[in-house]
Amino acid sequence: MELHTQYCYEKKWTKTTQKEALKLIHTEMPEADAEGTLAYIISQISKGKTVTLGECRFKA
């Protein structure tokens, strides 16, 4: 599945790998389980939703 990310202050969505997404999640929420959070994000964006985590948004 393709991930796209966008910070709140950006206008464009950027194609992101899962490895990069794990780094973003760890940066935004260092106390959270990054792999579990990524699994949740993937499950939600596969339904067509956009997920916001801190200052970063994720979509398919």
How many structural domains are present in the chain? 1
34: part of which helix (H) or strand (E)? Answer: helix 34-45
pLDDT tens sequence across 1-60: 799 999 999 999 999 999 999 999 999 999 999 999 999 999 999 999 999 999 999 999
pLDDT of residue 1: 79
The model carries a pTM of 0.88
14's tokens: 């950027």
pLDDT of residue 24: 93
Map residue 21 onto helix, strand or coil.
helix
Residue-range definition of the domain harbouring residue 52: 3-59
Give which of 54, 13, 59 is closest to 32, Cα–Cα.
54
pLDDT of residue 60: 93
Give which of 29, 39, 34 is closest to 1, Cα–Cα.
39
